Structure formats: structure tokens, C-alpha cells
Structure 1
Amino acid sequence: MFTGLVSDIGEVDKVEPRGELLRARILCSYPAETIAIGASIACGGPCLTAVAIGAAGEKTWFEVDVGAETLARTSARHWKPGARVNLERSLRLGDELGGHIVTGHVDGLAKILTIEDFDGMKRFSIRAPKDLARFIAEKGSVSLDGTSLTVNSVEDDVFSVLLIPHTLKVTTWGERRVGEEINLEVDLMARYAARLGESIAQKR
């Protein structure tokens, strides 16, 4: 479980195909001794398990196995050495829930349509997959590339989010470009509300 508050920007050091899996090594600033084998770390959105840990100079590295389902649904299939990804450690009991409840289970890929710069901020217009658009509501929450954001506006399958200078600085969002695909996880409560509504409708 996560909050969508990015705590570090990692860098993909190497990727190695292993059958249907992809083994990736990611460099980060987390102290190596604080990462346990089996720990969950959100890497650009998807929750992945640390299977190896070590140090390289002043950087810590951890390795993750990316499964076929994650490769099919997320931008992890495009990872190459040098790629930068938003990182978040799993939520601990007593931590401040400053974003919203994020599972790290990416639903699909959205696409950046436009980027508007003003006053040090950026407004992104994003197209969601048709089957996920119904879960996105104005003033609701959404997780994009592992970042908890508030939806500003919605029109059909296109929605917008506004990122402040701080968020642009401490995440990879300052590097995003028009046409890029980003990992989308819809709000958990919106998903359950929609499912509940469907169940009620079927009983009538």
C-alpha cells in the first residue's frame, strides 16, 4: 500500500530479459540497510518486490522482477538504462497519509496530449483508456507514474492535472513530454463505487 507521495527518483541501471520476466536493477538514494529482501517499492507506479540489494559507490541498488502482466499494462516494458522512475517505499503503520490510497496495481497506460507551462507550474491534458475513463472524476484522485494527483477537469476520456513547482522538482514530471505514455491507477474508492453501482443495477 502506498500514498502516491514520491520519496526518491530512481535510475534504471540495467535490464535483463529472463523468459517472460524482466530483471531490472534500479539505483536509488535509500540506505541499503533499510531495504529488506521482499520489500515492496513502487517504481514509476507498479508495486514491485526487491529481490536483491547492494551498493554502488554512493548509490544503493535494488533489483526487481517485472512479470508478464506488469510488462503488458505498464511502461516498464520500455525501461532502458538511464531511464528515471518515481520511487515510493510502502506505507508503514503510523505514517502520514498525505496523498490517497494507492495500491501499486497499474490499470493501464494513459497518454499526454498537451502541456501548458505557466508561473512555474504545468498543466497536463491526458487521455485515459476508454474502459478506465469512467473511474476518473473532477476533483477526484488519480495516480500517474506513481504520483498522487487531483483531477482538475474531465471531458469524455480526457482529463487534466496541475503540477506545482515542488512536485515537478522532486518527481520525473518535469521531464515528461507530449505523446509519452504514463502509468495510470484509478482511485480505489471510485472502482468499488462503480462495482457497487453495477451490482445494485443488476438486482433491480
Structure 2
Amino acid sequence: MFTGIIQALGAVQALSPTRVAVRCSATALTQSLELGDSVAVDGICLTVVEILSDGFVAGVSPETLGRTTLRDTTLEHPSRAMVNLEAALRVGSKLGGHFVSGHVDGVGHLRERQSTADSWLLSFEAPPSVARYIVPKGSVAVNGVSLTVADCNSEGSLFSVAVIPHSFAETNLSQLAPGAAVNLEADLLGKYVEKFLGLGQSTQNGGRTVTRQPVTAAFLSEHGFL
């Protein structure tokens, strides 16, 4: 579990199809790592399999490569791709962002970035796997950075976030150009709410198909909530 508060920037390098090296000069992060620890690398939860003097080696699976930007990052820029790093949340640590699992829901793309008087406004396109959970003032992790949705369209497929200068300078969000791919993870709470409510999904129960009604104003009224 992570918080989306980035602790350092690192450089990722492909060592093999299943292993990457992450180099980082922030000793406060690297010196505390142990074998088996989890680290969010651009929002992707990876497991430390080897400790290096200036970083660590992590294992990657075909699933991870297929669902995230890591494949493009390591293949296109095998020795200089900058990534956001965050060590796993420890009991008693400050929770400054929101609960981030490190399980990327989909890859989105930067549409536009604008500089304002006190922040940067970034606009993104989100795939359906993420868009369904995007709501105004909700939380979203972009390359592992915990951000608040400033605005979005009704589908959630287009959304914008305001990034303060500190976060912009201390993460790789400052390196994004229009069209750049980013890892997106929607708020974990929305996924559980959708699961528990069913939202019109069909399930198997004792050999028969049961379709749950979506929660609408009419549904709530019928069951005495309105």
C-alpha cells in the first residue's frame, strides 16, 4: 500500500525481459530497502529482488509490462527513463495523499498542460477501465502521484488536475509532453462500491443468473430510501 506522495526520482534500466534496475541517489529511500520490499515505480508496485549500492533490482511480469508504461519506458529509453519512486507505507507513517495500491488500472495520455499563476493544470485522457471511477474532487494516481480531479466530463474519460509547483518540480510530471503515456490508478474506494452495489452486473447463484438492479433514484424510492 502507498500514499501517492513521491519520495524520490530514479532512472529505470531494463536488464532482461523480467528484471529492471532502478537507480536512485536518494539514500533515505534506498538504504531502508530490504529484499522482498515493495516500491511503487511510476505507480507500479514492484518487488525488490536485489539490493544495489545505488538502488535496487525489481522483477516484472508479462502482466505488468502489458498493462503499464513500463514496457515503453524500458525499451525506448533503456538507461535514462526517469520514474517516480515511493516506498511502501509503514504503520504509523503519515498518510498525506490517498490509499494507492500500486495496481495500475490503465494507461492514459496527457492532452494539454498549462501554467497558471500558482500551479500547473494538466489534462488527461483516460481509458474506460479508469474513466468509470473518475469524479470531480475525487482522487486519482498519475504515475504514482496522488492528485485531486479538478474537473472531468460526464464519462470521466477527460479529466484535469491542478499540480502545485513543488509536486511538479519533484516528480516526472514536469517532463510530460502532450501525448505522453501515463499510468493511471483510480481510487480504490470506488471499485469496492461498484462491486458491492453490482451496478447492473449479472452473477451466477445456484446455477441461475441473477442481475442486480443499478442504484437509481427510482430504485432508492422503491426500497424506502427516498
TM-score normalised according to structure 1 size? 0.91
- Deviating above 2 A after TM superposition, structure 1's stretches of 4 or more consecutive aligned residues are 30-33, 199-204
Map 1:6-155 to 2 at 5 A.
Answer: 6-12=6-12, 14-18=13-17, 21=18, 23-28=19-24, 29-31=26-28, 32-55=30-53, 60-78=54-72, 79=74, 80-119=78-117, 121-155=119-153
Q: CA deviation at 1:132?
A: 2.2
Task: Kindly indicate whether the alpha-carbon contact (under 8 Å) linking 1:101 and 1:188 is maintained by their aligned counterparts in 2.
Answer: yes
Map of 1:190 onto structure 2: 190
Structure 1 residue matching 2:89: 3-state secondary structure: coil
Task: Kindly indicate whether the alpha-carbon contact (under 8 Å) linking 1:135 and 1:194 is maintained by their aligned counterparts in 2.
Answer: no
Q: CA deviation at 1:103?
A: 0.3
Higher strand share: 1
Deviations 1:67-93 (A, max 9, x none): 101100101002221010000000000
Q: Which blocks of at least 5 consecutive residues in structure 2 are unaligned?
A: 202-210, 214-226
Aligned residues: 196
Percentage of identical aligned residues: 37
Structure 2 residue matching 1:191: 3-state secondary structure: helix
Quick one: which amino acid aligns to residue 16 of structure 1? L
Tell me: higher relative CO, structure 1 or 2? Use CA pairs within 8 A at least 6 residues apart: 1
Larger radius of gyration: 2
Quick one: which amino acid aligns to residue 147 of structure 2? L
Quick one: which amino acid aligns to residue 140 of structure 2? V
Structure 1 residue matching 2:35: 3-state secondary structure: coil
Task: Kindly indicate whether the alpha-carbon contact (under 8 Å) linking 2:139 and 2:146 is maintained by their aligned counterparts in 1.
Answer: yes
Structure 1 residue matching 2:22: 3-state secondary structure: strand
Task: Kindly indicate whether the alpha-carbon contact (under 8 Å) linking 1:109 and 1:182 is maintained by their aligned counterparts in 2.
Answer: yes
Q: CA deviation at 1:142?
A: 0.4
